[in-house]
Structure 1
Amino acid sequence: MSAARRAMSGDDRIVLMRHPIKRLAPARRDVVQARWLRHFDLVERLADIGSWRLDLATAEMEWTRQARIVFGVDPAAAMPTWDRFLNFYPFNDRMVLMQAIDRAIATGQPYEVETDIITVDGRRRRFRNVGEVDRPDGEARCLVGVCQDVTAQYEIERALERSALVDDLTGIANRAALNRFLNERFENRSTEDGLAVVLLDLDNFKRVNDTYGHQAGDQVLQRTADILARHADRIGFVARPGGDEFVLAITDRDALGRLRALLATLLTALTFPVAGAAGAIVVRATIGACVLDQGITSRSDILRRADLSLYNAKSLGKGRAMVSGDLRPILPSAD
């Protein structure tokens, strides 16, 4: 005999083996029902879930105690209505949930969706919503739903996803994030979309590393990332694919219209000295850019053209910029 069965009283074993609850004497039935309600409440609390039932004819809802708790509702308060239940969900999430519920009612198939909710006290939580239509006599009578708070798991997954797309040293996007960004731009491209890809290499970076060590080199990379991030704010996307190479993807129409002036400003901002016992080493940027046109059809194409412009700029000397299709070199601004 198992330990669990040995732990039961003889009466309990008889109840489980021979008697449905409805066949018990009223007093005994109340005891068994109360025991199982406590058990069910404990299970919901341990799993951080709550369940509810919606009468499809009257729109009346019944909530378990734990369901009210996970939504931030006072367990002693009146049952929230169906409208109040839906209002816990931000608009877009509410639409996702309602579409899933409508499909479940129409098809008889269960639904499962993840959404955000806003609790009574204003906290945003992530919920897994699972539900199914109950058809006791073949006709849809009620909808039974379960909500589980998966916020902690969701935040861990998001943090892992972010870490996979962020450069550890500088805190800006890495090569994978850049590729994703550019691929999405090309996949969702329209005639009104504008884009320029700007490649930057740091001149004298190797000399800084060789003279003052990798810690000084890391500081140069971090300073460069900070400068680019400030300039990229509201106009585009900045990434460090690796080494001393940086990419600025410009999507703002106004910024694209003044691209040459913007590149001149960047050349000035990215010129700074690194001082030490061996004297100051001036770090500069050399830049190659390419503006999206009808002849460019892919991420690799625009990057290749920007890289060719970078090569042309380097052939003219350090601290210059070139734009694909334009033979005029750009020098640092006088500011």
Structure 2
Amino acid sequence: MNQLVRRAAFEVDSALRDDEVPNSLELYDQAASLVSAGAWSCDLSSERLAWTSGVFDLFGLANDQTPERHDIVEMYGEESRELLERRRSHAIETCSGFSLDANIVRADGIERWIRITAATRSSNGRAERLYGMKQDVTDDHARWEALRAQAECDPLTGVANRASFQRFLERRDDEPVLDCVGALVLFDMDGFKQVNDWWGHAAGDACLSAFGKRLSKTFPHARLVSRIGGDEFAVLLPQVSSRCETEAAVRSMIGNLQSPVPWNGDMLPIGVSVGLAFASEEPELDPQELFVAADRALYNAKESTSSVLVCA
């Protein structure tokens, strides 16, 4: 299918620049409708868009409307819009192409996922036109997200597993979770071994499950809540307006997080040490550096009388 789409994109580009072959566009539109796809072109000097009917259908717009790029861009989700602009700028600068799955909200309010493939036509080393294909991949995206959620979920606690956090550490440039990360909080459950020794591993699992649920409830706006080890958890917070207020908020949450867990008539104790590190103000986030700082703060917290320490 991808080879067919790429081939069609090049054929349609020829049609878009030749007004004398309307039959080519008509034939393409008929074929593209079978896969909910369409061709597009953008003149970079004027930002004028040219669409086949398939693209109008994707965005829920009437074919007789004139698409204005600044209006169309606003139909993209924030993360998709930012990623699109970065990929687009790089393609123009390097006279190259790109591929991107993007989230849009159609004119009728329906949310869809589209796959954009793009190439550049250039002259004398300068990009003059972007063109390519847009295809509806909503169903494929939903299936993929379901599989990924299953693969990246810790079944005991219900939060993300280590693989999800590892993706953050490995810093893929197109990874959405990298956007707007302001701080990393690491949690280590103190005395967890004693719970396993005294009440058994089923009791320990109950504590882990309860703690994971509490973290998800306590940090509803977190970029990621993940179990990264046996009794270790990580929470990625969005950008913060005040470091002092964020630290105070985290400290205030400790009491609820370490409330005893009811289990078979007993109350299982939970203790927790916390390491908090804030992302630097550099333009690019360094996940490894942030993790090392939070881990150092966590180690110091476990060695001190304070349950929460912030890396200086």
TM-score tier, shorter chain, comes to 0.5 to 0.7
Cα distance, 1:44 vs structure 2: 1.0
Query: Are 1:282 and 2:274 counterparts?
Result: no
Using a 3 Å threshold, how does the CA distance of structure 1 residues 217 and 62 change in structure 2: closer, same or farther?
same
Match of 1:87 in 2: 71
Question: Counterpart in 1 of 2:292?
Answer: 300
2:115 to 127, 131, 137: 127
- In the alignment, structure 1 residue 146 sits paired with structure 2 residue 130: no
CA contact (8 A) 1:204 1:284 kept: yes
Give 1:152 shift: 3.0
Q: 1:324 to 1:65 in 2, by over 3 A?
A: closer
1:127 Cα deviation from its structure 2 partner: 3.2
- Closer/same/farther in 2, CA of residues 39 and 233 from structure 1, 3 Å limit: closer
SS of the equivalent of 2:159 reads coil
> Displacement of 1:240 after TM fit?
1.8
Name 2:35's counterpart in structure 1.
47
Amino acid at match of 2:307: A
Structure 1 match to 2:11: none
- Report what 1:71 is aligned to: 59
Cα distance in 2 for partners of 1:182, 1:144 equals 34
Deviation string 1:124-157 (CA, Å, 9 cap, x unpaired) is 332314355499xxxx998764322233334444
Tell me how far apart the structure 2 counterparts of residues 324 and 58 of structure 1 sit (CA, whole Å): 51
Match of 1:333 in 2: none
- Aligned partners of 1:267 and 1:285 also within 8 Å: no
Contact between 1:199 and 1:307, CA under 8 Å: does it hold in 2? no
Distance (whole Å) between structure 1 residues aligned to residue 223 and residue 57 of structure 2: 42
Secondary structure of the structure 1 residue equivalent to 2:301: helix
Aligned counterpart, 1:229: 216
**Residues 59, 82 of structure 1: 8 Å contact kept:** no
Maintained 8 Å contact 2:184/2:290: no
Aligned equivalent of 2:189: 201
Report the residue type matching 2:56 in the other structure: R
Q: Choose 1 or 2 for highest CA Rg.
A: 1
Deviations 1:200-243 (A, max 9, x none): 215367646874763x5443322212222333345886432232
Task: After superposition, give the CA deviation of every residue in 1:156-186 in whole Å (9 maximum; x if it has no partner).
Answer: 44455555544232232333444555677xx
1:310 paired with 2:268, answer no
User: Superposed, which structure 2 residues align to 1:98-247 within 5 Å?
Assistant: 99=89, 111-114=97-100, 115-125=102-112, 126-131=114-119, 133=121, 145-178=132-165, 181=168, 195=183, 197-203=185-191, 207=195, 211=199, 214=202, 217-233=204-220, 238-247=225-234
Distance (whole Å) between structure 2 residues aligned to residue 310 and residue 221 of structure 1: 19
The structure-2 alpha-carbon separation of the partners of 1:223 and 1:127, relative to structure 1 and needing over 3 Å to count, comes to same
1:242/1:149 Cα in 2 relative to 1: closer, same or farther (>3 Å)?
A: same
Q: Is the 8 A contact 1:267 1:286 kept in 2?
A: no
1-structure distance, mates of 2:255, 2:31: 62
1:45-72 CA-partner distances (Å, limit 9, x unpaired): 2232113567899998765443433332
C-alpha contact 2:42 2:48 (8 A) present in aligned 1 = yes
**Where do residues 20-39 of structure 1 align in structure 2 (5 Å cutoff)?**
none
Which residue identity does 1:299 align to in structure 2?
A: F
* Higher relative contact order, chain-length normalized (CA < 8 Å, sep 6+): 2
TM-score (norm 2): 0.58
In structure 1, runs of 5+ residues without a counterpart are 1-32, 185-192, 314-319, 326-335
Report if aligned partners of 1:134, 1:144 keep a CA contact under 8 Å in 2: no
How many residues align structurally?
Answer: 263
Amino acid at match of 1:242: G
| Percent of residue pairs identical | 21
Within 2, Cα distance between the matches of 1:98 and 1:52? 14
